Chains A and B, each alone.
Chain A
Amino acid sequence: AQSVSQHNHHVILSEAASLELGCNYSYGGTVNLFWYVQYPGQHLQLLLKYFSGDPLVKGIKGFEAEFIKSKFSFNLRKPSVQWSDTAEYFCAVNENRDDKIIFGKGTRLHILP
């Protein structure tokens, strides 16, 4: 069965620190990859997505993610975090031509001002 692993359940950083959240998936075929974010009290929203092409994907609010096919990974990065990045982040994957998305368990990111 498909699975998505997020390595860190809870991350605490100070403002201006660099961020990398790990994500690995188990499917060996063609995949679409997503990172979603849920700010406190808000609905889940798309941060960035990879369908094909350049494996380095840029999203909103300065986030980027790199798809490394050989490692089955899609790690999320941001060079300098802000207090407003405090949120829960979910990595997700679906097989090409599958309507369903499999979500990871999420990483709670807490940024200290």
Chain B
Amino acid sequence: DVKVTQSSRYLVKRTGEKVFLECVQDMDHENMFWYRQDPGLGLRLIYFSYDVKMKEKGDIPEGYSVSREKKERFSLILESASTNQTSMYLCASSLLTTEQYFGPGTRLTVT
């Protein structure tokens, strides 16, 4: 079974803090993704990575950056957290163009 894990289920941060969300997959997948999920808006792609050190912007990259130094790990960074970044963050991985496997999500609250 594919396993995608995320470092925290719940996180509370203050406005202006730098926030790191970590994601690890154990199936040697090339692709990894970061989404945010908001009620009524579905899943919106923030960034994705198709290989180590390679990344591509998604639909809503502003205010976020990513890092992929190892194949199994994909980090999402909020450079200076703001209240409008309060959301559920989902990480996913996939093998080339196949279905994506999701982690449990991190519910981030920025106060």
Taking CB atoms, residues of chain B closer than 8 Å to A36 are 102
In this complex, how many residues of chain A approach chain B with their Cβ under 8 Å: the count is: 22
Per-residue 0/1 for B94-111: is the Cβ within 8 Å of any A Cβ (1 yes, 0 no)?
Answer: 101101111111000000
Q: How far is the CA of A98 from the CA of B50 in the complex (A)?
A: 11
Partner of B31, one of A46, A99, A104: A99
Interface membership of A90, Cβ < 8 A: yes
In this complex, how many residues of chain B approach chain A with their Cβ under 8 Å: the count is: 23
Q: Is the CB of B99 within 8 A of A49?
A: yes
Scoring A9, A94, A97, A98 by chain B CB atoms within 10 A of each residue's CB, the highest score goes to A94
Interface membership of A100, Cβ < 8 A: yes
With A90-B42, A100-B48 known to touch, is A44 a contact of B102 (CB < 8 Å)? yes
Interface membership of B23, Cβ < 8 A: no
Q: Which residue of B lies closest to A10 (CB)?
A: B40
CB under 8 Å from chain A, chain B span 74-111: 90, 92, 94, 96-97, 99-105
- Shortest distance in angstroms between B42's beta carbon and chain A's nearest beta carbon? 4
With A32-B97, A90-B43 known to touch, is A43 a contact of B102 (CB < 8 Å)? yes
Q: Is the CB of A105 within 8 A of B97?
A: no
Taking CB atoms, residues of chain B closer than 8 Å to A106 are 42
Q: How far is the CA of A38 from the CA of B10 in the complex (A)?
A: 18
Q: Is the CB of A45 within 8 A of B102?
A: yes
Partner of B97, one of A9, A98, A103: A98
Q: Which residue of A lies closest to B90 (CB)?
A: A44
Q: How far is the CA of A94 from the CA of B50 in the complex (A)?
A: 15
CB under 8 Å from chain B, chain A span 71-103: 90, 94, 96-101, 103
6 more A-B residue pairs beyond the given contacts A103-B35, A105-B42, with a C-beta to C-beta distance below 8 A: A42-B104, A44-B90, A45-B102, A94-B97, A99-B94, A100-B45
